[in-house]
A = this chain, B = another copy of it.
Amino acid sequence: MSATLADIARATGSSISTVSRVLSNSPAANRISRETRIKIAQAAEQLGYRPNLLARSLRTRKTNTVAVMVSDIANPWFGRMASLIEQNLHRRGYSLIVCNSGEQAELEQEYLRLLPQKGIDGLIVVPITTDREKLCHHLPPGLALVVLDRPVEGVPASVSTDQQQAATLLCRELERIGARRVALVRGPEHVSTHRMRGEAVKRHFDVLVDHVGAAQLETGHAAWSEIARTSPDAIVCTNNFLGQGLMEAMAQSNSRLPIGCFDEITALDLLSVPLVSCVQNVPLMAERAVEMLLCQLQGRKLPAEQKISAQVVSNREFKALFPR
């Protein structure tokens, strides 16, 4: 076990409180004689003292830790997001713990209950549930909360992409190349991003095939075997995993159907299919989310809900086939 305040007090012949004052450099630390201060510091150094953060937090009710709960850490999009949030927070003296709800409502609930018990000051969450009540039920009232990527009615601190703008951008690009009838591969209805993207597609196009499933590669695979029997002008996928899965399956055939995909696809320009992708501004989202969290932690005024705009990027194949 690590040395405690008591150990140091004993070693230096001072009292626990004095040691505490010095080592936690509290405001009262200045009012302590230079000599005892360095004597204590030396002893601490020598004994390898590490404050027990559990005990400290129990006492102060602050942990200097925030959690981010993402819906699928295996998805590179969330990985990037987590990484950027970590960097932003670390710069501000907070440490981050990442939780993975794996897109399972029960697991989300479990973590929502567990995290406050373990002690966190704030939470950034990509929620599964769309219900404010369910989301906040187990959270202590004071907890700083930011919802990310998927706004929840009634939660003021919210950072997300403007899905209307994003979807319009993508659909316009597909309309430009003459698409009228499309196949749609989309994630679960109850996830707002997938739903809004899907709805936008339905507004713009005649949807020949509407394949719904978990936002995983496998759904993309399955979708292709359904789509292959039809002949749409293009295929739209509501996220990167769906797009990747679809393309993996397509690769077995020789289809060159144009694809519109929400979220980033790696090595875009190396793909042999024409692809236009609608990418979100992940770094900006991460920054804003941390900012909104810190506003709450520091009692500053919360800025308005953040709607961040997206961009479309098309690959070489796409540009070659459909020049402007």
Residues of A within 8 A of B (CB): 1-2, 50-55, 57-58, 63, 65, 67, 72-76, 78-80, 82-84, 86-87, 90, 95-100, 102, 107, 111, 113-114, 116-119, 138, 140, 244, 247-248, 250-252, 265-273, 316
A244 to chain B, nearest CB (A): 5
Asked whether A83 lies within 8 Å of B72 as measured between CB atoms, the reply is yes
- CA distance in complex: A184, B131 (Å): 52
Asked whether B53 lies within 8 Å of A119 as measured between CB atoms, the reply is yes
* Chain B residues in 8 Å Cβ range of A86: 73, 100, 102
Contact with A73, one of B83, B119, B272 (Cβ below 8 angstroms):
B83
- CA distance in complex: A76, B86 (Å): 16
Asked whether A50 lies within 8 Å of B113 as measured between CB atoms, the reply is yes
Contact with A267, one of B53, B74, B247 (Cβ below 8 angstroms):
B247
Given contacts A1-B140, A79-B78, contact A270 B269 (CB under 8 A): no
A200 to chain B, nearest CB (A): 25
The 3 A-B residue pairs with the shortest CB-CB distance, nearest first, are A251-B269, A97-B97, A98-B98
* Chain B residues in 8 Å Cβ range of A52: 58, 117
A274 to chain B, nearest CB (A): 12
- CA distance in complex: A119, B120 (Å): 13
Closest B residue to A98 by beta carbon equals: B98
* Chain B residues in 8 Å Cβ range of A72: 83
- CA distance in complex: A248, B99 (Å): 31
A137 to chain B, nearest CB (A): 9
Asked whether A100 lies within 8 Å of B82 as measured between CB atoms, the reply is yes
- CA distance in complex: A73, B100 (Å): 12
Asked whether B50 lies within 8 Å of A116 as measured between CB atoms, the reply is yes
